[in-house]
Amino acid sequence: MSKIIFGFIGPPGSGKSTQGRLLAEALSCELVNIGAELRKTTNKELIRIMKAGELVPDSYVFEIIEDALERIGDNGFLVTDGFFRRASEVELLAKKQRGLHLQVGALFDLQASEGVVKERLTKRGRLDDDSDGIGARLAVFAREREGILGVAKDESINVIAINGEGTIDEIRDNVLSNLREYLDE
pTM to 2 decimal places = 0.88
Above 90 in pLDDT, residue 128? no
Rounded mean pLDDT, 132-149? 90
More confident residue, 82 or 185: 82
Residue 125: which pLDDT band, with cuts at 50, 70 and 90? confident
- Mean predicted lDDT score pLDDT of the chain: 90
- pLDDT score of 9: 95
3-175 maps to which CATH number? Answer: 3.40.50.300
**If you write DSSP's letter for every residue of 46-76 in order, what string do you get?**
HHHHHHTTPPPPHHHHHHHHHHHHHHH-SSE
Rounded mean pLDDT, 2-15? 93
CA atoms within 13 A on the CB side of 150: 8
In the chain, what are the domain boundaries? 3-175
Above 60 in pLDDT, residue 33? yes
Above 80 in pLDDT, residue 136? yes
- pLDDT score of 185: 46
Among residues 170, 140, 17, the alpha carbon closest in space to that of 80 is found at 17
